Amino acid sequence: MKKLFVWLLITTFVVSMAFMGIGCKKATETTTAETTTTAEAATTAAATETTAPATEKATGEPKTIVYWSLWNEQEPAAIVINKWIEEYKKVKPEITIKVVYVGREVMTKVMAARSGGEIVDLVDTENFSLKGSLVKEGLSLVMDKALDAPSYKGNSSWRDSFLAGTLKQYAADDGKVSIIPYDLITNGFIYNKKLWRDKGWTVPKTWDEFIALCETIKTTSDIASITQDAGVDFYNDMWNYQIMEKLVGPGRILAAAKDKTGNSWEDPAFKKAIEMERELFDKGYFVKGCDGFTWPAGQLLLASGEAAMELCGSWLPNELKSQVSNDFEWGTFPFPEIAGGVGKINDMESYLIGWAAFNDTKVGPEIVDFLKFCTTIENQNIFVDESWNMSTILGTKIPPAIQGLGEALLDSKALFSPHDGIPEELPDYHKNIYLKNHNLAFLGKITPDGYIKKMKEETIAYWKSK
């Protein structure tokens, strides 16, 4: 009966995700929602730095902002964006905002559209993608003057509205800020508090406690200790960069990727991280057969109660909220510390989604005013309530479903980038070398020593080809 129930869940979930366009699915749909917004007077937005002539304050004249988004129209975030636009039109009715919900391949499609002469002023997507494709290429509108000017309500500077570190994380090499983040995602373990309370299981704070808990779950229950959608390489990689951060701190994987000699991969921490991942397989803590799963089979086992926990992004409760039972109580906890390691339990991943404008836009001041409006506490709390994700804005709520991760994030003294920052620095290396070889090692298709050998050899070859 359990297997039948899980397959029914999978069928329902996949149909739901196909409609909602969330999770691992890469959307291809493009939907345009046009809303006219207007102003009673000139905007008070500060001028932003740009190579284009649009450096004056907004004039109150009719203007159009063309905005392309990574969301699909029926996703919670898109619904919130439409609400923001509807509210904004009440105070700035002369500004037309054309929002095009492109899906996850938004940057590819934006760049193709612009190369064909189409106007796109504003885009939102993952910050590492914005940095790699716009900031590093010198195509983004610099926002520092606007950030130093008053926020939308004028109580302080706009810059002071943001959580510490979130603006700097994806700044240009010279420190200039072009990306305005609004969606703060992290990762950690997700579980059912009620199940754990009934079983007497407690949240681990160290790796040794984590291993002991996995053994207890395995030997005293009929459910898997850990579920994993192991068919998704970037889900598998979460284990590696989290373990490495806790062992040696952030930046070590990226530094090894940049080492043209390849010698950095001989650091013992790299081999140890793979051995720690493989221990989870060797001891039977991962759900049996997960290496053959197709997303979302793994996470549905968490929803059905056939697995105790999953390491995943903080987006997971929102994805599964329609799949869990009424008595499911969301619980989350951060990746545990490792004995002898330098990383702390509240060193947290900061995976940001935000906006960037193109520096040839003719509506820079209008974009700034709109983004200031969207990043008020009131509007960001609407986003938190609808998306179950955290906001980058100080004073906003923590979604109850991810309370444990949210508290750790707000208490964090060290934020680090997903995949150790490789995607925005070396996207081809990330996909073709790091993710590929880590996946082979994670699934046991090469040994830890074989992983180190391949990473060293392929790193050398990568840089020789440049």
Residue 404 in domain:
no
Q: Do 306 and 439 share a domain, yes or no? A: yes
Query: What is the model's pLDDT at position 58?
Result: 56
Compute the average pLDDT of residues 23-41. Answer: 39
The predicted-structure confidence for 247-265, as pLDDT tens digits, reads as follows 999 999 999 999 999 999 9
Q: Do 369 and 437 share a domain, yes or no? A: no
Q: Do 303 and 164 share a domain, yes or no? A: no
Phi then psi for residue 326, to 5 deg, are: -65, -25
- Least reliable range by pLDDT among 46-55, 113-122, 140-149, 456-465: 46-55
| 307-313 vs 187-192, strand pairing mode | antiparallel
Cis geometry, peptide bond prior to residue 296 (ω within 30 degrees of 0): yes
Residue 399 in domain:
no
Percent of the chain whose pLDDT exceeds 70? 87
The predicted-structure confidence for 334-360, as pLDDT tens digits, reads as follows 999 999 999 999 999 999 999 999 999
Give this prediction's pTM: 0.86
Encoded amino acid at 422, one letter: I
Phi then psi for residue 294, to 5 deg, are: -110, 125
Query: What is the model's pLDDT at position 60?
Result: 72
Cis geometry, peptide bond prior to residue 399 (ω within 30 degrees of 0): no
The whole-angstrom separation of Cα 129 and Cα 135 is: 9
Q: Do 457 and 373 share a domain, yes or no? A: no
Contact indicator for 188, 404 with CB cutoff of 8 Å? yes
Q: Do 111 and 155 share a domain, yes or no? A: yes
Q: Which domain holds residue 106?
A: 18-184+352-394
SS3 59: coil
Q: How confident is the model at residue 20 (pLDDT cuts 50, 70, 90)?
A: very low
Contact indicator for 91, 39 with CB cutoff of 8 Å? yes
Angle between helix 76-91 and 364-374 (nearest 10): 110
Of 65, 135, 58, 44, the C-alpha closest to 361 is: 65
Q: Do 130 and 209 share a domain, yes or no? A: no
Residue 290 has pLDDT above 80, yes or no: yes
Residue 403 in domain:
no
Contact indicator for 310, 226 with CB cutoff of 8 Å? yes
Residue 3 in domain:
no
What average pLDDT does the chain have? 89
The whole-angstrom separation of Cα 390 and Cα 352 is: 10
Query: What is the model's pLDDT at position 347?
Result: 96
Query: What is the model's pLDDT at position 44?
Result: 33
Q: Do 340 and 387 share a domain, yes or no? A: no
Burial readout 21-38 (b: 16 or more C-beta within 10 A, e: otherwise): bbbbbebeeebebebebb
Query: What is the model's pLDDT at position 18?
Result: 37
Q: How confident is the model at residue 363 (pLDDT cuts 50, 70, 90)?
A: very high
Half-sphere exposure of 25 (CA within 13 A, CB side): 21
Q: Do 119 and 31 share a domain, yes or no? A: yes
Residue 401 in domain:
no
SS3 27: coil
Of 137, 138, 115, 135, the C-alpha closest to 125 is: 135
Pick the residue with more confidence: 199 or 27? Answer: 199
CATH number where 383 lies: 3.40.190.10
Q: Do 179 and 309 share a domain, yes or no? A: no
Burial readout 179-207 (b: 16 or more C-beta within 10 A, e: otherwise): bbbbbbbbbbbbbbeebbeeeebebbeeb
Q: Do 304 and 246 share a domain, yes or no? A: yes
The pair of structure tokens assigned to 395 is 């004073």
Residue 11 in domain:
no
Residue 63 in domain:
yes
Q: Do 202 and 302 share a domain, yes or no? A: yes
The predicted-structure confidence for 86-111, as pLDDT tens digits, reads as follows 999 999 999 999 999 999 999 999 99
Q: Domain count for the chain, please give it.
A: 2
The whole-angstrom separation of Cα 361 and Cα 344 is: 43
Q: How confident is the model at residue 219 (pLDDT cuts 50, 70, 90)?
A: very high
Q: Do 214 and 356 share a domain, yes or no? A: no
Residue 406 in domain:
no
